[in-house]
C-alpha cells in the first residue's frame, strides 16, 4: 500500500477513536497500490471505502460466507419490481449489449469489454500500467477510466478517455505526486465528468468538462466523499457521503440531501428512469470482514430493499433498459479473494455468472 494511503488511514482512524484493520484486509496484493482509500466517520466506527479498483469490496467479504449457485436468489426481504418494463425470466438471456469491466487476467489491471452474455471478451487497453474504473459516455462511443500509466512517482492516478474499441487514448488530467483521480461519471449530455479526487487528506467530488478543462470541487465534506453517479436527467449527482450514507447534490453543489441512513452504504447507481438507486450496504463485521450486498432505494429516500443476501456482492451497474443489473461477486474457498461479474434482474432474480476463471474481474459498466 502507498505510504500516503497508509498514513491517511492511520490518521483518520485515530481521529474517530478506532484502529485501522490489518492492511491485508483492506488492499488485496501489491496490484492494489493505486487504490484510493478514505475513512468516513460512522459514529464510533470507521467505514473504509476504496475508490480505486475494488470500490468498497476490500472490506466487504464475510469470513465463512458462501456463494449461492448461479441462477439462484436468496432474499431477506420482498423483491422490488423492475423500474422499467417487465422483469426477464431467469432463463431469458440479457439480450444485446456490451459491458466494460476490469480484470488482471493479463498480469496487470486492464479495461475489457464483453457481450452481455459473457462472450467475446476483448482487452481494450493492453497497457503495462494499471487501468481501472471504466465508465461509458452517454452515447456509448467513449470510455473514461483511471490509470497510473503517466509514470508519476507514487503511482498517481489520472483520468483518460478512449474510443469504444480502445483506440484514441487521451489523457484528461495531469496530476502532481500525491493526488489521485478515479471513478469518473459522465453527465447525461456528455459535456462533463464527475470524479473522485484525493489529495492525501480526504476524498472530494470534483467535476470537469469532458475534455479535462474547468476542474473544480463540487463536494468537500470533512471526512471525504467517493463514488459519484450522475442522475439520468442531469439534475443530481449521488455519492457516498459523510456518515456512510448515500447523498446527492445538484451539479452546482447546492441541495445536499441524504437518501439512506447508513451507516455503511456506498456504490450508488441510478436506474435509467431515475426512480431508483442501486447501492451497496455493508453489514456488521462481527469481528471479521464485513459482508456487503446490493440494495435498491427510491430516490425519495424510501426504505431500502435487498436484492442480494450472499454478503459478497458489490459495484452494481444498470442495463440501459433498466431490467438488468450487472454486479461483482467475490468468491470464497479455493478462489477466495477473486471477483467475477454477474447479472441479475432488477428484482434480484435470474442471477447469472458472466466471467469465471482464475483472474479477478470487477467494476462492470454497461454500454448505453
Q: Which of 213, 155, 205, 212 is nearest to 180 (CA)?
A: 155
pLDDT confidence tier of residue 338, bands split at 50, 70 and 90: confident
Bigger pLDDT: 1 vs 365: 365
Mean pLDDT of 273-293: 87
pLDDT score, position 125:
97
User: What is the sign of the dihedral through the CA atoms of 157, 159, 164 and 165?
Assistant: negative
Dihedral sign (CA 110, 113, 117, 118): negative
pTM of the model: 0.78
Could you count the other beta carbons within 10 Å of the beta carbon of residue 224? 29
Kindly state the cell numbers that stand for 105.
Answer: 487476467
User: Domains of the chain, with CATH numbers?
Assistant: 3-57 (no CATH), 58-366 (2.120.10.30)
The whole-angstrom separation of Cα 271 and Cα 84 is 9
How high is the mean pLDDT of the chain? 77
Q: Is the pLDDT of residue 189 over 60?
A: yes
Give residue-wise pLDDT tens across range 38-88.
Answer: 233 232 223 333 333 333 233 223 222 322 333 333 333 333 333 333 334
pLDDT of res. 220: 78
pLDDT tens for each residue of 100-143:
999 999 999 999 999 999 999 999 999 999 999 999 999 999 99
Helix (H) or strand (E) holding 268: strand 265-270
Residue pLDDT, tens place only, 295-337: 999 998 889 999 999 999 999 999 999 999 999 999 764 444 6
Amino acid at each position: 500500500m502507498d505510504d500516503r494511503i497508509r498514513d491517511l488511514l492511520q490518521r483518520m482512524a485515530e481521529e474517530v477513536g478506532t484502529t485501522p484493520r490489518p492492511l491485508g484486509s483492506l488492499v488485496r496484493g501489491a496490484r492494489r497500490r493505486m487504490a484510493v482509500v478514505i475513512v468516513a466517520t460512522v459514529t464510533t466506527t470507521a467505514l473504509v471505502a476504496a475508490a480505486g479498483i475494488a470500490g468498497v469490496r476490500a472490506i466487504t467479504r464475510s469470513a465463512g460466507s458462501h456463494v449461492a449457485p448461479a441462477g439462484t436468489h436468496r432474499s431477506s426481504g420482498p423483491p422490488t419490481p423492475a423500474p422499467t418494463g417487465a422483469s426477464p425470466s431467469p432463463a431469458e438471456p440479457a439480450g444485446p449489449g456490451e459491458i466494460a469491466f476490469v480484470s488482471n487476467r493479463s498480469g496487470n489491471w486492464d479495461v475489457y469489454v464483453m457481450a452481455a452474455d459473457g462472450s467475446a471478451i476483448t482487452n481494450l487497453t493492453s497497457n503495462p500500467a494499471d487501468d481501472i474504473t471504466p465508465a461509458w459516455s452517454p452515447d456509448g462511443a467513449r470510455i473514461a477510466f483511471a490509470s497510473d500509466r503517466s509514470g508519476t512517482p507514487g503511482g498517481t492516478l489520472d483520468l483518460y478517455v478512449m474510443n469504444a474499441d480502445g483506440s484514441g487514448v487521451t489523457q484528461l488530467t495531469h496530476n502532481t505526486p500525491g493526488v489521485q483521480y478515479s471513478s469518473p461519471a459522465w453527465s447525461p449530455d456528455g459535456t462533463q465528468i464527475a470524479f473522485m479526487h484525493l489529495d492525501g487528506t480526504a476524498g472530494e467530488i470534483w467535476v470537469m468538462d469532458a475534455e479535462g478543462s474547468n476542474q473544480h470541487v463540487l463536494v468537500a465534506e470533512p471526512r471525504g466523499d467517493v463514488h459519484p453517479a450522475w442522475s439520468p436527467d442531469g439534475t443530481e449527482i449521488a455519492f457516498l457521503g459523510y456518515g456512510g450514507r448515500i447523498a446527492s447534490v445538484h451539479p452546482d453543489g447546492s441541495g445536499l440531501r441524504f437518501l439512506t441512513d447508513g451507516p455503511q452504504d456506498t456504490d450508488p447507481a441510478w436506474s435509467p428512469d431515475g426512480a431508483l438507486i442501486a447501492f451497496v450496504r455493508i453489514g456488521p463485521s462481527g469481528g471479521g470482514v464485513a459482508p456487503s450486498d446490493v440494495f435498491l432505494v427510491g430516490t425519495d429516500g424510501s426504505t431500502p430493499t435487498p436484492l442480494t443476501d450472499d454478503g459478497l456482492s458489490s459495484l452494481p451497474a444498470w442495463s440501459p433498459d433498466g431490467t438488468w443489473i450487472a454486479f461483482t461477486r467475490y468468491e470464497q474457498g479455493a478462489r477466495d479473494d477473486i471477483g467475477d461479474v454477474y447479472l441479475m434482474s432488477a428484482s434480484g432474480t435470474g442471477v447469472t455468472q458472466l466471467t469465471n476463471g482464475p483472474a479477478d474481474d470487477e467494476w462492470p459498466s454497461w454500454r448505453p
